[in-house]
Structure 1
Amino acid sequence: MGLGANQQGDGEVQGAIHKAKRFVGDVTWEEVKKHDGKVVKDKWLVIDNQVYDITQWAKRHPGGFKVITHYAGQDGSEAFTAFHNDEQYVRKFMKAIHIGQIAKEHEEHKDVVKDFAELRKTAEKMGLFNANFLFFFLHMSHIIGLEIASYFVMRTYGFCWWTFLVCMAMHGTLQAQVGWFQHDLGHLSCFKSSKWNHVFHYVFMSTVKGASAKWWNHMHYQHHAKPNVMNKDPDVRLEKLFVVGEKMPKMVAESGQSTMPYQHQHKYFFLIGPPLLFPLYFQFMIYRHMIKQKEWIDLAFNSLYYIRFLACYVPLMKWWQLLLFYESFRVMESIWFTWVSQSNHIPMEIDEDLARPWLELQLRATCNLEQSFFNDWFTGHLNFQIEHHLFPTMPRHNYVHIAPLVKTLCKKHGIDYKTKTLLQGFADIVHSLKSSGEIWYDAYYHLQDQYSTD
């Protein structure tokens, strides 16, 4: 989110800015809330008590159209700060879309907003936004090492049951780990320069992982801007296969469009959730996005992954062995990613957009898993999901240092800071799916009984 999230060059950004037709002057919060794109067509947002018209600018926003418009009619100050490493660079483009200032400061969440801003300043003074180059170099090296080792094992010993299992495990592991690494790069947390973060993000996401950097940015920035917010977070949008939380099941039941036996979703999740998310759903969505958005450069980088993979392994396997090998490590990667990523979010509160302050918004939607060397590696430090969501550009090796301060701040404001074991986090996915399915079942069949009575 933000007016210049990816910093893509002065000329492009300047050309995309829509100059405001007028300077309004003092603007009331009631007026701002009308400009959410629903009540009034124009989209306004507030940053540091200044009002900006993002109606046209949003279409060329480097961070994506949706992520910035999710804050239309709201105060986006905290999200703006969270997503931008260099606010001064971005602010020089904001004058052209500035239309006024808030007549009266927002008092509702003033204390928690002020305290969180102080916490961020403390983190900056502690140097927690500075990346350890050695950490990321070693992480990158072990990914490349797994790739090379897998190839040489298959080339040296040929395809047999044990080389298949060993190489599948290595490929599945490297794909999971490159997923965490590209996540760091996508959040601009590995290098001081945004340019180098983007370059390496393209390389690793496309040519090492075989996915799409632009698609990831489009989806993931929305998730961070409004986590677990229905119709804004793409990870919890109304889907045909699963219902989550307490409100979504009722909404789906009342819509009369229910097509799945959601009361059994905690059972069929094991079959069509983790195993198929990457090999089927993400594959379709990635290419759909690249083609629909005409991201030809992204598509070209993506094709390099398959050219490289086929060049390495076609001489070593028969076609059916190659297909089995590829799909097997994709399923392993998918299972790994799904269980880790959903353990932090699905069991948490899922609601409509209530325009909560940043600290409360993120804590209601996220929880942590216990810290250990294995958990850090296995989850890509997303066991510190709370700290990651509060400070998305902070290098992940520093989450452990900011966590105690976050806990103290949450305690001060009566906000629940949840930490679970790894296995408890996984179990809670199933428990929450079961609970949501039961809510849908009760609501749906209660309505059916009403209809039959009428």
Structure 2
Amino acid sequence: MSDLDPGRVRPQQQYASLYTDLLRTVQELGLLRRRRGYYYTRMSCAAAVLVGIAVGAVVLGDSWFQLVLAVVLALTLVQVAFLSHDSAHRQIFDSAARNDWTARILSGGVLGMSATWWRTKHNRHHGAPNQVDKDPDVQMKVLAFTPDDVVRRKPFGRWLADRQGWFFFPLLTLEGVALHVSSIQHLMRRDASKAERVDLGVVIARLTLYVAAVYLLLPVDKATAFLGLQLAVFGLFLGAAFAPNHKGMPLVPAGMKLDFLRRQVLTSRNIRGGVITDFAMGGLNYQIEHHLFPSMPRPTLRRVRPIVREYCELHGISYTEVGLFSSYRIVVDYLNNVGLRARDPFECPLVATYRK
């Protein structure tokens, strides 16, 4: 795919050209074309289910069967979150503005979260996945991701870090609440823009109206159980879709520079599976391809996977793909043993090449 002669160019040029060649191939195959029909169908189905849940809640009235609807609502909102994610990555429309507005409507109006907060955080992650000084996803206060994080903690914190893998999935039940809180905190900054002030009004209105509707429709005990279950299931399933993608993969030390292709492939993990896995994980099971081509429509990721895998094998780049439950075992094991991991958890392939 490359016209460069490895014997006549410097290693930096060779590494830089690898992604360019792969991207050119993908573009020539038309794999970056928008799939608006797919997304219109997804959004229409999600809207229909949400309307059905609202009607069902009114019909059921004062009944513990409302908890079934709470679970269905949570799972539907997870799918809406995936759609917002795709729109924020500008996968749906050619127009950046239409993508951004769609993400803001889905995130703020339907989910009750800030699209601007999430986009800022997520873009930092995509720019430096698993880099300890740049990726916000490995800079959490609750979980320790590096040996240095463990060392800095007090005795109870170190005890918890040694067992944090077992607490990981129970903690995900709180992820929904954490996302709402983080969104509001971001939007309430003193230097928030006018657009963010508008987003704050939308998010607060959505959360207020939703909670008020639940408590007006149901007695306090059932309403509280409904909200608690909905938030717990939402956080668990959304977190379970994002968790296997990078946790337990190599960490990039602070200050280390890597070429784009290796940075994205070596720190990401794909999850094997079929249509059900694709649906449950919102296409995030093709994490390697998503990181290489963030604006690629979700249904195309499956098609580009064999191309990327073959390309990585051709150039000796490790391509990681495991089953879903295997990935969870890896995550739990890594988190439980993070304090025992090597101090330098990642050997840069560029440095290794230059050393030779």
TM above 0.5: yes
- CA gap of 1:137–1:388, structure 2 versus 1, over 3 A, is same
Question: Which of structure 1's runs of 4+ aligned residues deviate more than 6 A?
Answer: none
1:371 to partner: Cα distance: 3.5
Residues 252 and 258, structure 1, Cα contact 8 Å, conserved in 2: no
Q: Secondary structure at the match of 1:109?
A: helix
- CA gap of 1:308–1:143, structure 2 versus 1, over 3 A, is farther
Which amino acid is 1:150 matched to?
I
- 1:291: which partner in 2? 188
Q: Residue by residue, what CA displacement relative to the aligned partner does 1:310-353 show, whole Å, maximum 9, x if unpaired?
A: 46434321234323212211110111111221111112011224
2:117 to 204, 215, 220: 215
1:252 to partner: Cα distance: 2.9
Q: Secondary structure at the match of 1:313?
A: helix
Query: Are positions 1:305 and 2:197 aligned together?
Result: no
Q: Residue by residue, what CA displacement relative to the aligned partner does 1:364-422 show, whole Å, maximum 9, x if unpaired?
A: 21010113110110000111000000000111111112111111221122111111111
357-366 or 289-298: bigger deviation: 289-298
Q: Secondary structure at the match of 2:11?
A: coil
- 2:65: which partner in 1? 162
Query: Are positions 1:147 and 2:50 aligned together?
Result: yes
The 5-angstrom pairing of residues 247-326 of structure 1 reads: 248-249=146-147, 251-255=148-152, 259-260=156-157, 261=159, 262-271=161-170, 273-279=171-177, 281-292=178-189, 293-294=191-192, 295-310=196-211, 312-326=213-227
The 5-angstrom pairing of residues 116-155 of structure 1 reads: 116-155=19-58
Equivalent-residue separation in structure 2 for 1:137 and 1:334 (angstroms) = 25
- CA gap of 1:163–1:217, structure 2 versus 1, over 3 A, is same
Computing the radius of gyration from Cα coordinates, the structure with the larger value is 1
- 2:100: which partner in 1? 198
Q: Secondary structure at the match of 2:237?
A: helix
Residues 92 and 297, structure 2, Cα contact 8 Å, conserved in 1: yes
- CA gap of 1:109–1:203, structure 2 versus 1, over 3 A, is same
Which amino acid is 1:210 matched to?
G
1:269 to partner: Cα distance: 2.3
Equivalent-residue separation in structure 2 for 1:320 and 1:206 (angstroms) = 27
Q: Give the total of aligned pairs.
A: 327
Q: Secondary structure at the match of 1:355?
A: coil
- CA gap of 1:109–1:257, structure 2 versus 1, over 3 A, is farther
Residues 112 and 357, structure 1, Cα contact 8 Å, conserved in 2: yes
Which amino acid is 2:109 matched to?
T
The 5-angstrom pairing of residues 18-29 of structure 1 reads: none
1:163 to partner: Cα distance: 2.8
Equivalent-residue separation in structure 1 for 2:52 and 2:151 (angstroms) = 54
Equivalent-residue separation in structure 2 for 1:423 and 1:179 (angstroms) = 23
2:231 to 327, 330, 348: 330
Structure of greater relative contact order (alpha carbons < 8 Å, 6+ residues apart): 2
1:225 to partner: Cα distance: 0.3
1:232 to 100, 112, 134: 134
Q: Secondary structure at the match of 1:383?
A: coil
Tell me how large the CA RMSD over aligned residues is. 1.9
- 1:114: which partner in 2? 17
1:309 to partner: Cα distance: 2.0
1:241 to partner: Cα distance: 2.7
Which amino acid is 2:330 matched to?
D
Residues 340 and 426, structure 1, Cα contact 8 Å, conserved in 2: no
Which amino acid is 1:167 matched to?
L
Q: Residue by residue, what CA displacement relative to the aligned partner does 1:165-202 show, whole Å, maximum 9, x if unpaired?
A: x2112111111111110000000110011111011111
Equivalent-residue separation in structure 2 for 1:253 and 1:422 (angstroms) = 27
Query: Are positions 1:428 and 2:325 aligned together?
Result: no
- CA gap of 1:326–1:122, structure 2 versus 1, over 3 A, is same
Equivalent-residue separation in structure 2 for 1:350 and 1:265 (angstroms) = 18
- CA gap of 1:195–1:253, structure 2 versus 1, over 3 A, is closer
Equivalent-residue separation in structure 1 for 2:106 and 2:153 (angstroms) = 43
1:254 to partner: Cα distance: 4.5
- CA gap of 1:131–1:159, structure 2 versus 1, over 3 A, is farther
- CA gap of 1:307–1:254, structure 2 versus 1, over 3 A, is closer
- CA gap of 1:163–1:256, structure 2 versus 1, over 3 A, is closer
The 5-angstrom pairing of residues 265-414 of structure 1 reads: 265-271=164-170, 273-279=171-177, 281-292=178-189, 293-294=191-192, 295-310=196-211, 312-352=213-253, 353-414=255-316
Q: Secondary structure at the match of 1:339?
A: helix
Equivalent-residue separation in structure 2 for 1:278 and 1:374 (angstroms) = 23
Which amino acid is 2:214 matched to?
Y
2:82 to 159, 171, 180: 180
**TM-score normalized by structure 2?**
0.86
Residues 64 and 222, structure 2, Cα contact 8 Å, conserved in 1: no
